Amino acid sequence: MYYVIMPSQDIRRNLATEQYLLNQRTFDEPLVLFYIQKPCVIVGRNQNVRAEVDLHYAREHQITITRRLSGGGAVYDDLGNLSFSFVVNADHKSFGNFKLFTQPIIDALHEMGATGAEISGRNDLLIDGKKFSGNAMYTKNKKMYSHGTLMLDVDLEEVSRVLTVSEKKLASKGTKSVRSRVTNLKPYLSKEYQGISTEAFRDRLLLHLFKSDTMEDIKGQEYHLTQEDEQSIDQLVANIYGNDTWIFGEEPKFTIKREEKFQGGLIEANISVEKGRIEAITIFGDYFSQRETKELESLLTGCNYEYKAIKGVLDEVEVGEYFNNVSKEEILQLLVD
C-alpha cells in the first residue's frame, strides 16, 4: 500500500487530488490518502446545496462550499477533522462494502482507547450511539475510492449552525441528509492521546495501517505529487470543485418562496430554479414602484441562482425604482440569502 499526505488545507484541492489520483495515476498497490481542511461544507453528488447549507452563514464566516462526486449527505469539516480515502481497483464485491475499508480505521481507534467505536448501518461509524464518521464511495473505469471523515475535535456548534437551513419554503427533489447526533472522538481516546493534534492523529492511523513503529519506517511508501500532477489538479479545481456551475448547477430542479416585510412594504418572490439557473421568477407585494416589476423579473430570468450573479444584475439597475424605500441589499437578501 502507498499513501499520500495532502499538503493543502483547501477541500476543493483535496477532492481534486483524490479524483486525479483515481483517474490519472495507476499504482500496483492500493493507495490511502489523508487530508485536513479549513472550515468547509461538502455536499453529496445528488443534493440540493440550498436545502443543506445556510449559505448566508457560510458566506459571512468564510466557510468553503463544494460538491463531491460521491453520493451521501452533507458534512462540515474544519481543522479538527481528518479525512481519509482508499483508492483501489473496483470489483463487484468492493463497491458498497464500507466495512472493508472502515474496519482498519475502527481497529486503530480501539488501539488508541476508543474501544466503543463501531460500524453502524450502511456507512456510518458511531461511538456511544453518536456519529463521528460518514463514508461514501465513487467508482469509474474499474477503479473506485471509499472516503470518509473522522471528527477528532471539530467545532460542533459550527456543524449545527451551517448545516441548519432556515425555513424558506424550499421544495426540492434532492437527496436530503439524515441529521444525526454527532460527537468528537478525542474525549473517548486514552489519556495519552487527549492532547493529540489532527496531524499526529493522522500519523498514528498511518502507522497502524502499515503496522510500523515510526514514520521513518514507511517513508518509502509515500507518493509525492509531481509538478505535472499539480498542474492537472489546478485544472480540476478551476473546472469542477471551485466552479459554481458544478457546485450549484448540479442541483435538482427546485422552487423557493421568499417573503419579507420591509419598511417599503411586503415583498414576496417565487423562484423556480433548474440546473442552477432561474427558470422563472414572479415578485409581488404591497410595495410601491415607479417601474414595472416584470422588467426586473425578465432581467433575472436565466441568471445563475447564486449571490454574485444576482448581485451583478441588481448592480446594473436602480432598485429603488422597482421597490420604493427598499435597498438593493435588502432585495438581495430576500432573493438569495
- Antiparallel, parallel or unpaired: β 170-172 and 254-262: antiparallel
Predicted pLDDT of residue 259? 87
Q: Are residue 191 and residue 268 in the same domain, yes or no?
A: no
- Antiparallel, parallel or unpaired: β 143-151 and 170-172: unpaired
* Residue 63 neighbours by CB distance under 10 Å: 21
State the angle between helix axes of 293-300 and 307-315 in degrees (0 to 180), rounded to the nearest 10.
Answer: 140
pTM, entire model: 0.78
Residue predicted with more confidence, 11 or 182:
11
Predicted pLDDT of residue 176? 57
Going by pLDDT thresholds of 50, 70 and 90, the confidence category of residue 165 is low
Q: Are residue 235 and residue 279 in the same domain, yes or no?
A: no
Please state, in angstroms and rounded to a whole number, the distance separating the CA atoms of residues 144 and 87. Answer: 6
Predicted pLDDT of residue 2? 94
Please state, in angstroms and rounded to a whole number, the distance separating the CA atoms of residues 206 and 3. Answer: 8
Judged against a pLDDT cut of 50, whether residue 201 lies above it is answered with yes
Residue located via cell numbers 495519552: 192
Q: What are the φ/ψ torsions at residue 26 (nearest 5 degrees)?
A: -115, 130
Please state, in angstroms and rounded to a whole number, the distance separating the CA atoms of residues 284 and 172. Answer: 22
* Rg for the chain, CA atoms, rounded: 23
Please state, in angstroms and rounded to a whole number, the distance separating the CA atoms of residues 298 and 307. Answer: 18
Q: Are residue 168 and residue 292 in the same domain, yes or no?
A: no
pLDDT in tens, 18-49: 999 999 888 888 999 999 999 999 998 878 78
* CATH number of the domain where residue 140 is located: 3.30.930.10
In sequence order, the 6+-apart residues with CB closer than 8 A to the CB of 170 are: 48, 50, 51, 254, 255, 256
Going by pLDDT thresholds of 50, 70 and 90, the confidence category of residue 141 is confident
pLDDT in tens, 113-135: 999 999 987 788 999 999 999 89
- Domain termination site, one of 198, 223, 249: 249
DSSP 64: E
CA 291 to chain centre: 41
Contact 158, 144 (CB under 8 A): no
* Total domains present in the chain: 2
Q: Are residue 217 and residue 307 in the same domain, yes or no?
A: no
* Residue 199 amino acid letter: E
Q: Are residue 214 and residue 311 in the same domain, yes or no?
A: no
For the residues of 130-182, what is the DSSP string, one character each?
EEEEEEEEEEETTEEEEEEEEESS--HHHHHHHT------EEE-SPPP----B
Judged against a pLDDT cut of 50, whether residue 304 lies above it is answered with yes
DSSP 277: E
Please state, in angstroms and rounded to a whole number, the distance separating the CA atoms of residues 185 and 114. Answer: 7
Q: Are residue 187 and residue 90 in the same domain, yes or no?
A: yes
Going by pLDDT thresholds of 50, 70 and 90, the confidence category of residue 291 is confident
Predicted pLDDT of residue 19? 96
- What is the average pLDDT across 2-26? 95
- Domain termination site, one of 218, 249, 280: 249
- Average of per-residue pLDDT values in the chain: 90
* Angle at 252 (CA atoms; ends 255, 242), nearest 5 degrees: 110
Predicted pLDDT of residue 170? 46
Q: By residue range, what is the domain housing residue 209?
A: 2-249
Q: Which residues pair with 283 in a beta bridge?
A: 269
Please state, in angstroms and rounded to a whole number, the distance separating the CA atoms of residues 229 and 224. Answer: 9
Q: Are residue 226 and residue 262 in the same domain, yes or no?
A: no
Judged against a pLDDT cut of 90, whether residue 153 lies above it is answered with yes
Predicted pLDDT of residue 169? 40
Judged against a pLDDT cut of 90, whether residue 111 lies above it is answered with yes
* Residue 97 neighbours by CB distance under 10 Å: 13
Judged against a pLDDT cut of 90, whether residue 9 lies above it is answered with yes
pLDDT in tens, 48-107: 788 789 888 999 999 999 999 988 888 999 999 999 999 998 875 677 688 889 999 999
Judged against a pLDDT cut of 90, whether residue 300 lies above it is answered with yes
Residue located via cell numbers 456510518: 124
- Domain termination site, one of 209, 233, 249: 249
Predicted pLDDT of residue 284? 85
Judged against a pLDDT cut of 80, whether residue 305 lies above it is answered with yes
Q: Are residue 40 and residue 98 in the same domain, yes or no?
A: yes
Judged against a pLDDT cut of 60, whether residue 187 lies above it is answered with yes
